[in-house]
Amino acid sequence: MTMLKTLAPYEFKSRDAVENYQGRQLLYVNWERHRMFSRPFVLAMKPETPFSAVLEEMAACFSYHPDWQHIDWDKAIWQNGNTPFTPDRNKSLKDNGIGHKDLIRFRTPGLDGIAGTGY
């Protein structure tokens, strides 16, 4: 229950409601245990965009890390938020069950960053 107290009616829209993105939706991507990138990055994409487009954005950012070239893609573990899922690169975000402001967490077992530090 809200604890907000006000002197007058208080109703404001979410500043990041999906209708503010001209047909696109927000998606966050994090490579776990590779904190060199400091924080997840954000994309705005149409729900019909194939997941492969996310993979391209990941490569553009994450390939700076020496672990990137050692990824065994068959062993990668994916989560949408805290829920495990297996993305299909040829299917759309929507068909992969990815909605507005979802956070994709990408794990690469055995690769724990520079000198195993998580960075």
Partner 1 sequence: MDMKVAKKLGLKERYALMTRDLAWDTTYQKMEDVFPQTTYEGIKIHDWDKWEDPFRLTMDAYWKYQSEKERKLYAILDGFNQNNGHLSVTDARYINVLKLFLGSTPPLELMAARGFSMMGRQMNGAGPRVACQMQAVDEYRHFQTQIHSISNYNKYYNGMDEFAHQQSRMWYLSDGKSFFDDAITAGPFEFMVAIGFAFEYVLTNILFVPFISGAAYNGDMAAMTVGFSAQSDEARHMTLGLECIKFMLEQDPDNLPIVQRWIDKWTWRGTRKLASVGMMMDYMLPKRIMSFKEAWEMYVEENGGALFKDLARYGITIPKCFSQTIEEKEHVSHQSWIGFYMKPQATPFHTWIPTPDEMDWLSEKYPNTFDQYYRPVLEFFDAQEKAGNRFDNKTAPMNCQVCVSTMKFNEPGDPMEMCFRESIYQGEKFHTCSDHCKEIFDNEPEKYVQTFISSHQVLQGNCEPDGVDVNAPDFKPGQDMLGYWKLDKRALGDFNGSEDQKNFAAWREQATKN
**Element housing 55 (H / E):** helix 51-62
Q: Report the alpha-carbon distance of residue 100 to residue 28 in Å, rounded.
A: 9
Cα–Cα–Cα angle for 119, 58, 89, rounded to 5 degrees: 130
Q: Which two tokens stand for residue 47?
A: 């729900």
Contact status: 41 vs partner 1 (CB under 8 A)? yes
Nearer of residues 42 and 90 to partner 1, judged by Cβ: 42
Q: Considering only residues 48, 61, 90, 109, which one is a binding residue for partner 1 as defined by CB under 8 A?
A: 61
Q: Which two tokens stand for residue 80?
A: 């949408």
Q: Considering only residues 23, 30, 63, 67, which one is a binding residue for partner 1 as defined by CB under 8 A?
A: 30
Binding site for partner 1 (CB under 8 A): 2-7, 10-18, 20-22, 24, 26, 28, 30, 32-33, 35-42, 44, 57, 60-61, 64, 66, 81, 99-103, 105, 112-115, 117-119
